[in-house]
Amino acid sequence: MFALLRCLVFVVAINCIGIMANAQPQTDASRDVTTSAPTLNFYGVPGLIDMPGGEALPDGQVAIGVSSFAGQTRTNFTFQFSPRISVTFRYVGIQDWNSDGFGTYRDRSFDFRYLLIREGRIAPALTIGLQDFAGTGIYAGEYVVATKTFKRPLRLRGQVKVTAGLGWGRLGSVGSVGSPFGAARPQFEPGDPGGEPATDQWFRGPVSPFGGVEWQVNERFGLKVEYATDAYLPETSRRVFARSSRFNFGLEYQARKNVRLGAYWIYGSEIGVNLQLQFNPKTPATPYRLAGPRPIIVRPDRLANPAAYDGGWIAAQNAPVVIRDAIGPELATDGIKLHSISFSATRAEARVSSERFDNFAIVTGRTARTMARILPPSVETFDIVLINNDLALSKVTLSRRDLETLEFQPNASQLLLSRTVISDAPLRPTGVTSQVDSLYPHFSWAVGPYIRPSFFDPDEPVRADVGISAIARFRFAPGWQVLGELRHRVAGTIENGSRVSDSVLPRVRTDALLYVRAADTTLERLVLSKQWKPGKNTYARISVGYLEQMFGGVSAELLWKPATRPLAVGVELNYVKQRDFDQRFGFRDYEVATGHLSAYYDLGNGYHGQLDVGRYLAGDVGVTVSLERQFANGWRIGGFFTLTDVSSQEFGEGSFDKGITVSIPLSWFSGRPSRQSISSTIRPVQRDGGARLNVSDRLYDQIRNGHLTDLNNNWGRVWQ
């Protein structure tokens, strides 16, 4: 309890400091004086060589670093989650760690950094950090560090960064100046499953001052020197390497804009290397290429030609069909599907979806242009109902006059948004309506390669299977579909794994190796599903069949989510049975009822939070907390953890389920419109506790891009 209280006080304190820092007005003189991304240390965070620095990465930046010295290799993934908060996941291999013949010791750890003060004209950047706060603790340490940048100091070329800090734990193991917050620092106990935050260690024990200088000579070359305070006691005691100096020296070379290489003399005895790769999801690998939209046809002046605005055309018997058959094909050439068109003499409603664009602002803009080109001049108001997978998401109401007058104005997107109304979608069209009859039945299929990775096996950190996947989808009525996927493995190394499940829980995930070995050709999923809207703000789904690789059965979901509110609440109930290892049509004996009550909250600026409470596949009961950042171009990066009534000893290695989720839109690579993405969940350890059913097409992910916040975030592309 006291450890938890210390943790909460710490979190509240750093957030209060952050709020105060953000509340200060920022003038041009107080903005960051650096323009390039900070360089990375051996732990993959902004810093010197082995010591951390006080700078933060640019907002949203992703940094991947691989460093090696003395038989120690660290692979780091760092994400600047917000302007002040960054998180790091690290995977380490240490040769000769054990004396029992186990060749390489593998370790996983997480870091957390918080930027307390941004660098200004006088003030340095000041950061507080937790290193290896939720791993086995072999790298555990805490620090407070400041970095100041000087342009052309003493008339030197380039810029110089000076770093100074205080370190605890690993970073305070040599050169200590005292123990200001208590001398006792509990150590990680052998046999402990690890993975839990060691709050009783934070900022405890001896503290040591460290520091160094980085000189960026020019755009290509940089030099580093540091005074390091990690004694490497575990490594030197095991004779992994001999440490004879506290000073490290390095030379770094900026090979490309996003790639940096370094070579170092480490601790007076070793040569080290570091590869740094940085990129930002906001900047696509390939610029987005999209054919220009058709021009908006401006109506004649009402005073000069009042007859053009006569609404008598509405009485024509064939008007609905004529207008539908004119609008539908023009939208189809843009990759937009017209479901229906409804109108009165002054107002029109188009219900549309797209299998090409993942950005509903583009869909809205191009639909509005087509309506302005074709509808009679008397129609002044456009209602565009956005649809995804037969679910009506929201209604976007625009003035035709605004479309005609604002397109070429400065800040045209913001002006149009300020005059646009986004609201809940009506369940059914209103007014004189013409439906499109050719939407159903619809059959689609795709054949292509797949890769199934497997991470963090101690014998082989990265394994993968590759093969061919065939996916077919048949939509035979609104909301109804049959989805199937066959896979054939061509080659791979996952089956070579040797780890046998030692779980004391029902083996709902830890028998994954047996599923891989059983057959090369498998039925990945075969699902009959129906989804619909019972009410204006409610969505429903029911799925039956082979739902995922390991389980089949029935899954039902109900979600409440108004289009204009940040909160959503849903419930999911499943009754499933474990599939045979060969993943064909048979089942094993294990069956379970599982389900969750979920709350989703749009925090603004692309941040989404989710809380799931319920029963998991192994029968354990608990809660999953998720936090994710979504970028306007579709990138999504987040993290989660699950705590259940399973103890850390019963759970096994890792203590509880946690991981990182990454989803990258293919359009980011190709520069072409696409709704496809590459998604992966990276778990330090996959165990049976906290395991959830992998059901495709959960409702919240289907609808949120078409609601108010995401439309506002993407609205800048409405004119494209």
Sequence-distant (6+) residues with CB within 8 A of 675 are 354, 355, 356, 357, 358
Dump pLDDT digits (tens) for 183-211. Answer: 788 776 655 666 677 788 899 999 999 99
- Kindly report the number of other CB atoms within 10 A of residue 297's CB atom: 12
Mean per-residue pLDDT, 165-189: 88
**Which residues are within 8 A (CB) of 418 and not within 5 positions of it... i.e. 6 or more apart?**
none
pLDDT above 70 as % of the chain: 93
- Examine the domain organization and report whether 503 and 553 are in the same domain: yes
Q: Is the pLDDT of residue 432 over 90?
A: no
CB 353 within 8 A of CB 338: no
Whether residues 155 and 253 share a domain: the answer is yes
- Kindly report the CATH number assigned to the domain that includes residue 435: 3.30.300
Between 110-114, 469-473, 585-589, 645-649, the lowest mean confidence (pLDDT) is in: 645-649
Q: How many domains in the chain?
A: 3
**For residue 553, what is the domain's CATH number?**
2.40.160
163: helix, strand or coil: strand
Q: 446 and 583: one domain?
A: yes
Q: What is the pLDDT of residue 92?
A: 92
Strand 381-388 with 347-354, pairing: parallel
The pLDDT score that the predictor gives to residue 24 is 35
Distance CA 633, CA 4 (A): 38
pLDDT tens readout for residues 224-278: 999 999 999 989 988 889 999 999 999 999 999 999 999 999 999 999 999 999 9
Please compute, for residue 602, the number of CA atoms within 13 A of its CA located in the half-sphere on the CB side: 25
From 15-19, 60-64, 258-262, 682-686, the region with the lowest mean pLDDT: 15-19
In contact, 392 and 351? CB cutoff 8 Å: yes
Q: Is the domain of 417 the same as that of 357?
A: yes
Of 555, 488, 553, 484, nearest to 525 by C-alpha is: 484
Amino acid at 325: D
Q: Do residues 264 and 330 both lie within one domain?
A: no
Q: Higher model confidence: residue 13 or residue 436?
A: 436
**Within a domain: residue 292?**
no
Cα distance between residue 459 and residue 693, in whole Å: 28
On whether residue 140 sits in a domain, the answer given is: yes
Residues 6+ apart with CB under 8 A from 481: 473, 474, 475, 528, 529
Decide if 368 contacts 294 (C-beta within 8 A): no
> Is position 291 within any domain?
no
Residue 620 has pLDDT above 60, yes or no: yes
The pLDDT, as a whole number, for residue 376 is: 95
**427: which 2 tokens?**
């369940």
Kindly state whether residues 424 and 448 are assigned to the same domain. no
Of 454, 458, 453, whose CA–CA distance to 654 is shortest?
Answer: 458
Q: Which comes out higher in pLDDT, residue 104 or 47?
A: 47
C-alpha to C-alpha distance for 458 and 565, rounded to whole angstroms: 46
The answer as to whether 670 is a domain residue is yes
- Distance from C-alpha of 140 to C-alpha of 133, rounded to nearest angstrom: 6
Rounded Cα–Cα distance for residues 361 and 714 (Å)? 6
pLDDT category of residue 360 using cuts at 50, 70 and 90: very high
* 710-714 own/partner pairs: CB under 8 Å, 24+ apart: 710/360, 710/630, 711/360, 711/361, 711/364, 711/394, 711/396, 711/422, 712/417, 712/422, 713/605, 713/606, 713/632, 714/359, 714/360, 714/361, 714/632
Which range has the worst mean pLDDT, 10-24, 145-159, 515-529, 646-660? 10-24
Q: Helix, strand, or coil here: 215?
A: strand
Domain boundary at 279, 296, 321, which? 279
**For residue 570, what is the enclosing H or E element?**
strand 567-579
What is each CA distance from 300 to 308, 401, 545, in whole angstroms? 8, 11, 57
316 contacts: CB under 8 Å, gap ≥ 6: 322
* 15 has pLDDT over 80: no
Same domain membership, residue 696 and residue 554: yes
Instruction: State yes or no: pLDDT of 430 exceeds 90.
Output: no
Do 17 and 67 fall within a single domain?
yes
Average pLDDT over residues 316-338: 93
Domain range enclosing 111? 2-279
536-560 average pLDDT score: 97
Q: Assess if residue 294 is contained within a domain.
A: no
Of 413, 439, 465, the residue that ends a domain is 439
Residue that the structure tokens 């990945």 belong to: 524
pLDDT for the residue 648: 85
Judge whether 341 and 371 are in contact, CB under 8 Å: no
Mean pLDDT of the chain: 90
Pull the structure tokens for residue 243.
């440490």
Q: Is the pLDDT of residue 686 over 90?
A: no
Query: What is the pLDDT at residue 123?
Result: 95
Do 608 and 476 belong to one domain? yes
* Structure confidence at residue 4 as a pLDDT band (50, 70, 90): very low
Question: Confidence band (pLDDT; 50, 70, 90) for 66?
Answer: very high
424 and 457 share one domain: no
Three-state secondary structure call for residue 7: helix
Pairing mode, if any, of strands 125-131 and 141-151? antiparallel
Last residue of a domain, one of 393, 422, 439: 439
Residue 462 banded pLDDT, cuts 50, 70, 90: confident
> Do both 670 and 552 map to the same domain?
yes
- 464 is a domain residue: yes
DSSP state of 4: H
Task: Assess whether pLDDT exceeds 60 at residue 383.
Answer: yes
Per-residue pLDDT at 32 = 34
User: Is the pLDDT assigned to residue 640 strictly greater than 50?
Assistant: yes
Say whether pLDDT at 105 is over 50.
yes
The predicted pLDDT at position 135 comes to: 64
Say which residue the tokens 């003395």 belong to.
Answer: 70
> From CA 212, how far away is CA 100, in angstroms rounded?
38
The backbone torsions φ and ψ at residue 38, rounded to the nearest 5 degrees and listed phi first, read -60, 155
* Same domain (yes/no): 629, 528: yes
- Local structure of residue 234 (DSSP, 8 states): H
The yes-or-no verdict on residue 688 having pLDDT over 60 is: yes
Instruction: Give this prediction's pTM.
Output: 0.89
Q: Supply the DSSP string of 330-389, one letter for each residue.
A: HHHHTTEEEEEEEE-SSEEEEEEEESS-S-HHHHHHHHHHHHHHHS-TT--EEEEEEEET
Q: What is the pLDDT of residue 685?
A: 83
**Mean pLDDT, rounded, for 408-415:** 92
CA distances from 134 to 43, 455, 624, 643 (A): 15, 18, 17, 14
Token digits for 224?
A: 């580093």
pLDDT exceeds cutoff 90 at 700: yes
Is pLDDT of 707 > 90?
yes
Domain assignment of residue 715, yes or no: no
Neighbours of 303 (CB within 10 A): 6
Structure tokens at 225: 């020197």
Q: For position 117, which CATH number holds?
A: 2.40.160.40
Residue 31 reports pLDDT greater than 60: no
Place of tokens 């600026």: 605
Nearest to 88 by CA among 117, 61, 109, 119: 109
What is the mean predicted confidence (pLDDT) over 367-396? 96
pLDDT at residue 628 in the model? 96
Is residue 342 very low, low, confident or very high in pLDDT (cuts 50, 70, 90)?
Answer: very high
Q: Give residue 5's region: left, alpha or beta (phi > 0; psi -120 to 50).
A: alpha
Pairwise CA distance, residues 45 & 147, whole Å: 13
Which pLDDT score is estimated for 313?
92
Question: For the packed helices 319-333 and 360-374, what is the interaxial angle rounded to 10 degrees?
Answer: 140
pLDDT at 442: 93
Across residues 630-658, what is the average pLDDT?
90
